[in-house]
Amino acid sequence: MLFAMITTVTTKNMISIPASVGRRLGIKPGYRLDWQIPPESADTLSVRVIPDRATLSARLLGSGCRAAAKRKLVDELVREREEDLA
């Protein structure tokens, strides 16, 4: 599904993110936008949303616990260190 919206650039090269776009992408104050121009296109712009550090941390919270439930991570680390020293 294509989602398109047109915004206007001000004289100071600023834009406003439409509320519907902000809601759909979960953009909040403190988030950054990574603007990229694909090399094969002169008039296409790609924007990637980069959440703030707190949000990134919250997403990672618990991921180690999920991995640890499947593997014995400390035992693996000790074994790797022993192999490196051998």
17-76: per-residue pLDDT in tens? 989 889 988 999 889 999 999 888 888 888 999 988 888 887 777 666 666 666 777 788
Same domain, 61 and 46: no
10 and 23 together in one domain: yes
Other residues' Cβ atoms within 10 Å of the Cβ of residue 17: 16
Mean pLDDT, to the nearest integer, of 5-17?
91
Same domain (yes/no): 69, 37? no
Asked whether residue 76 falls in the same domain as residue 44, the answer is no
Distance (Å, rounded) from C-alpha 33 to C-alpha 45? 12
Are 44 and 7 contained in the same domain? yes
Same domain? 6 vs 21: yes
Q: Report how many domains make up the chain.
A: 2
User: pTM (2 decimals)?
Assistant: 0.58
Per the structure, the complete domain to which residue 29 belongs is given by 1-51
